[in-house]
A = this chain, B = another copy of it.
Amino acid sequence: MHSDPVASRSAEHRDSRESRNGSTPHLDAVSLAIIEQLQEDGRRPYAAIGKAVGLSEAAVRQRVQKLLDQGVMQIVAVTDPLTVGFRRQAMVGINVEGDVESVADALSAMPEVEYVVMTAGSFDVLAEIVCEDDDHLLDVINKRMRAVPGVRSTESFVYLKLKKQTYMWGTR
């Protein structure tokens, strides 16, 4: 048998069964390790990943495809829209009366909204928006977002400068 940098394979399988999260199931240590590799470089070859996690090239490929199909992970190019230019960006904190999730869904449906998260604290929902310019920003916040049923109030934080943006939660 080849060396196994992560752990015993069969043990992983048993672990993955006892996922108490009903929605998105089963992420064993090997898949975690694969995701970590792709967090460092989304274009890393499958063979190199396989060597790092102790799997064949084909097995890595099948796992990655499955993770993508399930929506657990996506491999994409990320930028700073402000650096790329000509756009206004903001985080909007929202207070909701009634069903929070339906408001979050309505916000998620808007193309200018890149990021929506339900939170505990003095806001019920946080939404990040990317706009063409100030007029567009004003339109999205004051017309469209405030018009969503259940939105009680909003507070905006216009982005001045992005200082850090990483995806390295795995590698610590």
Give residues in A with beta carbon < 8 Å to B: 19, 21, 23-24, 27, 32, 35, 38-43, 72-79, 81, 83-85, 87, 90-91, 93, 101, 104-105, 107-108, 111-123, 126, 130, 155-169, 172
**Who on chain B is nearest to A104 by CB?**
B163
Lowest 9 A-B CB distances belong to which pairs? A38-B77, A42-B75, A119-B157, A108-B164, A121-B157, A116-B164, A116-B163, A42-B42, A118-B160
Q: How far is the CA of A114 from the CA of B122 in the complex (A)?
A: 22
Least distance between A113 CB and chain B CB atoms (Å): 7
Q: Which residues of B contact A90 (CB under 8 A)?
A: 119
Least distance between A38 CB and chain B CB atoms (Å): 4
**Who on chain B is nearest to A125 by CB?**
B163
- Are A19 and B122 in contact (CB-based, < 8 A)? no
Least distance between A79 CB and chain B CB atoms (Å): 5
- Are B111 and A172 in contact (CB-based, < 8 A)? yes
Contact of A161 among B19, B87, B117, B161 (CB under 8 A): B117
Cross-chain pairs A/B with CB under 8 angstroms, 18 sampled: A32-B84, A41-B76, A42-B74, A42-B76, A74-B77, A74-B79, A75-B75, A75-B78, A101-B163, A105-B163, A108-B163, A108-B164, A114-B169, A118-B161, A120-B157, A121-B157, A123-B157, A126-B157
- Are B156 and A91 in contact (CB-based, < 8 A)? no
Contacts A122-B155, A130-B169 known; list 20 others, CB within 8 Å.
A35-B77, A39-B78, A42-B43, A42-B75, A43-B43, A75-B78, A76-B76, A81-B169, A84-B169, A91-B91, A91-B117, A104-B163, A108-B163, A111-B168, A114-B165, A117-B162, A118-B160, A119-B160, A121-B157, A121-B158
